[in-house]
Chains A and B, each alone.
Chain A
């Protein structure tokens, strides 16, 4: 039995998703960089907190870039 393939997300939503993920991602990246270069707790850093922040940043901005490609017609 053959059933038509359905893609996970409708292509019509790609530009919106690209915009939202990029805005949120860039905001997280900016916050991450600011928190990195600001001395806290007498110069000591919490590596787990940093990595958590980095993960959130990379997921949102990575998806943002991915949807930018899809919205731009580069169907990877």
Chain B
């Protein structure tokens, strides 16, 4: 298809450009843009090197991303190599004077952008997917020169849209260089190719961190997973599966967990599942989760797994304010995973106050109360929620709270109190005269 189709409306793009579009559109010119799109997994990972020239003094650079896409964006300043704050589609950076140059590295991860086509395949068929995007870099600024390279999972390319100069070589499709492209120019890119990477989507993820100041950080993760690749056509045959494994099935899930993790468990609603193992690596452990059955296209599964961590490696004390700071990752360490509904819960010690969160991205917050062992008023639970996450999984977030030093002695005092109450009960009991006959005392005196 050579025709240039406006496959996503310019309106959607314009809607994204918040506020004063006129001033934004004229404040930058992209001198050179190099995009490399990695389509080797279920996610589309674009690394975009941008060299932009300021037309006037500015501290905000904007991206144009179709609002129908589920994306997560990370931006780094190429000069200082530091991550920059991204709010929706606006990147805040240090002030750049007129005619100054800004070098950015933008990593855009698009989720669910590769659609299985055909949507149904048999057990032994390979999975073909269709990827749609823009031939040009979507931007609210004029771009002087740009080039795009797309790396595919396999060299089996059914079709790739053309826009001269473009070429297909093995598993690489390249577009450009294109010169002097106006802002918001859209030309539909479509690549149809074979991709048997696991299309594993966590439809609902609930991760819980339970902090104990007595030395433990308990981590438990509830997974609802689904194979969102091409759905299985017909019935599943175990015999065929043994003889000729299906190319697009998911047999196991590997999760990276901190090196100090211990006491692993892996269960579902029936009970313990014994097919899990972990292996040691220099900097981490790999937890291998093998579900009860292989996941074929469209199949679902749900289970939970957990482990313990020594709290000292993740909890710090701010010596200025005396508050505690917990530093942990937001999501699960599964490669190229896409989470649709992502919830992280922090179960803090009873009596924790002034709970604050520092995250490198926007996140929805709420609070709950949970009563577990030896609790009286319940523990504060901080709930963070985000929809459609990929890159956020690996990022660290900080939760800070205040806790009086006496609060951790609440539980032992409760037990001491309980035993003391037992002793008092015994003291009261022996003071009652419960015998029927009054002669006992007389008998006692005689024997004495």
Contact = CB atoms under 8 A, between A and B. Distances in A.
Contact of B420 (A36, A54, A76): A54
A65 B416 CA distance: 9
Interface in A25-76: 25, 29, 32-33, 36-37, 39, 43, 45, 50, 53-55, 57-59, 61-63, 65-66, 69-70, 73-76
Interface string B401-435: 00000001001110111111011101100110000
A7 B312 CA distance: 7
A5 B315 contact: yes
Contacts of B354: none
Contacts of B218: 75
B64 interface: no
A11 B215 contact: yes
Interface residues of A, number: 38
A9 B408 CA distance: 12
A55 B424 CA distance: 10
B10 interface: no
B125 interface: no
B318 interface: yes
A45 B430 CA distance: 10
B212 interface: yes
B308 to A, nearest CB: 8
With a 10 A CB-CB cut-off, give which of B216, B423, B444 has the most chain A CB atoms.
Answer: B423
Contacts of B419: 25, 29, 57-58, 61-62, 65
Interface residues of B, number: 43
B319 A4 contact: no
B305 interface: no
A47 to B, nearest CB: 8
A2 B423 contact: no
Nearest to B325: A2
A55 B421 CA distance: 10
Contacts of A5: 213, 311-312, 315-317, 324
B79 interface: no
Contacts of A10: 215
B210 A75 contact: yes
A11 B216 CA distance: 9
Main SS class of interface, A = helix
A62 B315 CA distance: 28
Contact of B430 (A7, A37, A58): A37
B427 A2 contact: no
A6 B315 CA distance: 9
B412 A58 contact: no
B316 A69 contact: no
A1 B418 contact: no
A7 B310 CA distance: 10
B317 A66 contact: no
A2 B315 CA distance: 9
Nearest to A55: B420
Nearest to A61: B419
Contact of A69 (B210, B308, B312, B373): B373
With a 10 A CB-CB cut-off, give which of A29, A57, A76 has the most chain B CB atoms.
Answer: A76
Interface of B: 210, 212-216, 218, 263, 308, 310-313, 315-320, 324-325, 372-374, 408, 411-413, 415-420, 422-424, 426-427, 430-431, 441, 444
Given A4-B317, A36-B430, 7 more contacts: A7-B214, A25-B419, A32-B423, A36-B427, A65-B415, A73-B263, A75-B218
